[in-house]
Structure 1
Amino acid sequence: MNGTAGLTSWAAVPSAAQVAIPPPELRRWLPGNAGIPGVWSFEAERPGPHLAVTAIMHGNEFAGAVVLDRWLQAGIRPARGRLSLVFCNLDAFARFDRDDPTASRYVDEDMNRVWDRAVLEGPRRSCELRRARALRPVIDTVDLLVDLHSMPWASDALILTGETEKAGQFGMAIGVPPLVVADAGHLGGRRMIDYERFTDPATSSAGVLVEAGHHWEAATVIQMERAAAQALRHAGMARTDQPLPAEPTPPRPRMARVTRTVTARSRSFAFVREFRGGEVIAARNTLIAMDGEEEIRTPHDDCLLVMPTPFVHHGHTAVRLAQFVD
């Protein structure tokens, strides 16, 4: 197959019509109670772990902020240990425009690519780096992290764990959503779950990233709240007298490991047909995309497609290819 003839672009750019839930009103939560704007932290009398649930790492992904707003209004508190609810990229969220809903992902750079010690302690400056540096003191005390995200394209919900065994175990223990994917992150920089506190084998701290569904749907909010509630239960921090969603009975979670991260090397990357995230390609060596003249084929049987991106820019991740682990 030569060039990109016959290849498919299957998704429209997200538009105002897709914003099915309103952004939450966060003004009352901006001061925080932990000495850092947008950070709320509550400590129980009984000792226990520090669990943080973070939202709006990307300003247009506000479904997680809906969950945090709901929990703050409901007065959710931990039965033991410490619970922190963190609104991350407040400046980007403040710019959200329903008529251009993807434009507020960040102000200067992706905040979920700056969580490297050398970057955080280096001379570079940006709105997102300033905020990450401000949040670092609280993140440096977190034992369990649940970072809430959503997706612009059709995809099954999943939990991303990075490559550490402890994060994989944490993701499987949460089990909501039931697809857990271990991956190496992005070439463009470290995510919060890749921050050294969560990847250092000398610590027990672990972080997971929940990709809960489409950006602006009520079902995504429900999925996020269930995941966060399951993390609270797993940590032994849930109280029976508080309005958390009922413990679900989902399918047994499955773990997959990314075997290849496909990064667009040309400006003409295109998939051969419409793919949905979570789709499994049965046969090894199946053609799924063309990157200029390069064929992108599945490296093994039963290849899981993780968040294929129909409109991918040069140098960005187009899709991750993963293999299920028994």
Structure 2
Amino acid sequence: MIDVSQSQTNSLSAFIPARGLGNPHLQTLLPRFINRRPLEVTWQALPLPDGDFVDLAWRTQPASSTATPIVAVFHGLEGSLGSSYARDILRAIEQRGWHGVLMHFRGCSGRLNRLPRSYHSGETGDARYFLSWLREQYPHAPLAAVGYSLGGNMLLKLQAEWGNVSPLRAAVSVSAPLKLDICADRINQGFSKVYERHLVKSLVAKVLAKFADHDYEQLIGLTLQQIERARTFRQFDNRFTAPIHGFADADDYYRQSSAFGYLGYIQQPALIIQAFDDPFMTPAILPDPQQLPDNVQLAVSQRGGHVGFVGGSLLRPRYWLTEAVPGYLARFL
């Protein structure tokens, strides 16, 4: 772990990869294969002001009078409750005696959302509404949040937009693509193309499924053939993400939605966890810790991959994030 000053690291432990698991792709992929325990949750559909909805997955749903902390979780691109990191953190939250709830971005819960639009890395409106709703429904409960990858970028941007009126006592971001343009280029190189193809294929499939209900050619000039031929993030974002969400093009979307430029405006406690070897990005996306506000902490490890951070051993893996994330939040909850 890079020492970003004793006051910043505090009780956060340094991550050490399991022996033989230092490779970033092993760190990234192994949790998805060796950590597949299901998790029982209570589902709740949250109607949105524009007529759409997001699906919530509660590990334990509290009474409205609860004073027990609630931690909101935001998944990564095309993630869901099926993502191992989401189940892991919900279990870890419960073990602390808190309530955990995962907000699925539009169309990520297994149900297509109603409107032509979708979700993206900088779209904070749904999370803003959800967290404000939590504050109203559970007025006595301390609130915090953790976001992974895309969800981490979104959460940091939202905290910056909220400033000192955020309802969250603290936030944690894990493996966030803080500069989206750099990340879009990096993931289109080498073995990382495997991740890109998988994610873009999932995104394309959802858009194709929605063609039955929405005339995308009339809305944004997008044909079935054009979206079917999207193979990279830049192609998909140029053809769908940018126009359907009001951006001029992919570069405009990346510029406006990258959390990097917003970090200096965050006024509540925040922890940013990254790994130098993350195959989705490069060290060029990392901020200078000396340029961050005192309330924003940066923890960067040499190893860890993308939302991996598997310690212990291959036979007895330890998921470091389930210790580090609640450990940081406990200081404020």
Q: Which has the higher strand share?
A: 1
More contact order relative to length (CA 8 Å, sep ≥ 6): 2
TM over 0.5: no
TM-score (norm 1): 0.34
Q: Which has the higher helix share?
A: 2
TM-score (norm 2): 0.34
